[in-house]
Structure 1
């Protein structure tokens, strides 16, 4: 194994390869964002992995079960719009799959909005240029904010997330995700759902 390959994260039974060497597995905007980011952050070239998956397994729970992936590394990216008067603000919120984005309190306040709600799937996919179920925080439209739950900053944490396509997944160190362009690390962005 060469020195570069040693840095590549890998979990489960998926065939992980360097994302920048396999941009055919990425939405065009995601590939472009990774190339741009790699110019200033060398870790992107050696520590961002991608793996092909069956699109029918793109759902987090199914993917984890089929491929032996630990649920705690799965990152969900949801797109939220908030409005105050005539001004709309949009944010992509990245939270651990074991939580849910705190849209009505935390996200709404961060967007300085009177009301916040999930962007419709049609609008989210059209504006992001990504497929439903594959939206990722990399390569999103410039006006959108990118909010990342601070849990991903913990040492040794991995983030398993969309690639912009339903037929593949990205895997990268959580601390690297937290330094992605435009990423804002936010405490308590995700809340653990109440049981019962």
Structure 2
């Protein structure tokens, strides 16, 4: 199972507390060395009381705790010191495509054409859907069919919109991986219009179309 992609940078400040100039270089080793990148290469000269910074970017290479060792060595004395960088790899959240759907304005009581949303999760994990918010509550103007998502992914969600009131409506869901408990979101929007306002919109569109025609065709 792949780890959730996330990058974190850690700044490691090294101070020269001695009386001689240090020539420092850094190297990353350890069981998860591939999860870390040292953002500076070559040697760095540090005067007495001076400082330098070794920046590390961590990207989980596997699930769970990823650890390594940053060793900073002085080329002149051979003295070295170690810093243990670490990062935690979390499972990937379910993928919801598209994450949001907006239906065209529809007359009250008239069902829209169905729209589909593709759901996938790592290893084909099943997912659940929990209604979290919306208007009007509980978002029943959006008819949602979850297909086979409760048993496996990838799967498809089918949604239709039948407004029962004028104005904007919405329904928001949490999509949860039933194996890893990682979560994503899915949101639905639509607008209900009365017959009168719907006709007004059509008239405005017609006026725009007529005004865009050449004068010879406006009869």
The reply to whether TM is greater than 0.5 is no
Q: TM-score, normalised by structure 1?
A: 0.23
Structure number with bigger Rg: 2
Structure (1 or 2) with the greater helix fraction:
1
Q: TM-score, normalised by structure 2?
A: 0.21
RCO comparison, higher one (Cα < 8 Å, 6+): 1
Structure (1 or 2) with the greater strand fraction:
2
